[in-house]
Amino acid sequence: MKKLLLNIALTCLALCSYAQQQALINYGNNKEAGGYKTINGIRMYYEIYGSGKPLVLLHGSGGSIKNGRPKIDYFKQYYKVIAIDSRAHGKSVDSTTENLTYEQMASDIKVLLDSLHIDSAYVLGQSDGGILGLLLAIHYPGKLARLACYGANIFPGREAIFDEIDQLITDSLKVTQQLNTKRLYSLLAYQPHISEADLNKIKCPVLLMSGDRDIIRLEHTLKIFYAIPNSNLFIMPGATHYGSVEKRELFNQVVSDFLNRPFSKRSTVELLTQKH
């Protein structure tokens, strides 16, 4: 009995120690895991955790590596997680003043991966990060083994996002004075410009995700889904644009299933008619 109690006590201590260690990790400002690379005229900041197949984490507009804590905590157990602060975000140093473009930001990620000698990676993108993932798959197909994106859009405006959000972006752009904030709102207001023909060029398997209460219209997500030949679709029930945090266990399960299982796009029609 004493030995059993001792084992339980040691296990509890180990778990507490691990929990404290996790809580102490300062994601987004971790000197032990972080580094800079000079990329396309900026100093791009990134952090690396875990080992195995590379998994690139791309945050949304106005976000940073810090927002990826739940994803990093989970996925670093199974992958080499490369979390990136996009141009004009987080700790990435961008002293340029020209307008931001998603194409430039996608190029930044590609060059960073080249500098890290990563030929092929999984990519997981949230919102703007999902847009960047789509552009990477279109323009640099060899870099992506699989792409999972949540809450992405392929053009701006009210056909893609709800009227109230579009108005909020427009109003914010009118009143903001800070240069970098204006650059970010301009990006949301006037970009991206990805055609269905562009999406049709994507060769890697893609998992498209959205909340059923997202700011992205469901019909817009369906448009993207139908345009990508090798794609799966997941609509998270009772979730907003931030479903990856609101229902993190479900999100992690769905993404893990997509990354680990053989990709399939077999339909019920094919199943019932025995077509292969």
Q: Which residue range forms the structural domain that includes residue 125? A: 34-260
- Domain count of the fold of the chain: 1
Domain membership flag for residue 255: yes
Q: Is 172 in a helix, a strand, or coil?
A: helix
Domain membership flag for residue 20: no
Residue range 168-177, pLDDT digits in tens: 999 999 999 9
Domain membership flag for residue 23: no
pLDDT for position 5:
36
pLDDT for position 15:
37
pLDDT for position 276:
57
Torsion over CA: 139, 143, 144, 149 (sign): negative
Domain membership flag for residue 266: no
pLDDT for position 24:
80
What are the mean pLDDT values of the chain's consecutive 10-residue runs (276 residues total)?
42 41 82 97 98 98 96 98 98 94 98 97 98 98 97 98 97 94 96 98 98 98 98 98 97 98 94 80
Assign 3-state DSSP to the chain and report helix, strand, coil percentages, each to 5.
45, 20, 35
CATH code where residue 149 lies: 3.40.50.1820
pLDDT for position 22:
52
pLDDT for position 3:
47
Domain membership flag for residue 274: no
Domain membership flag for residue 125: yes
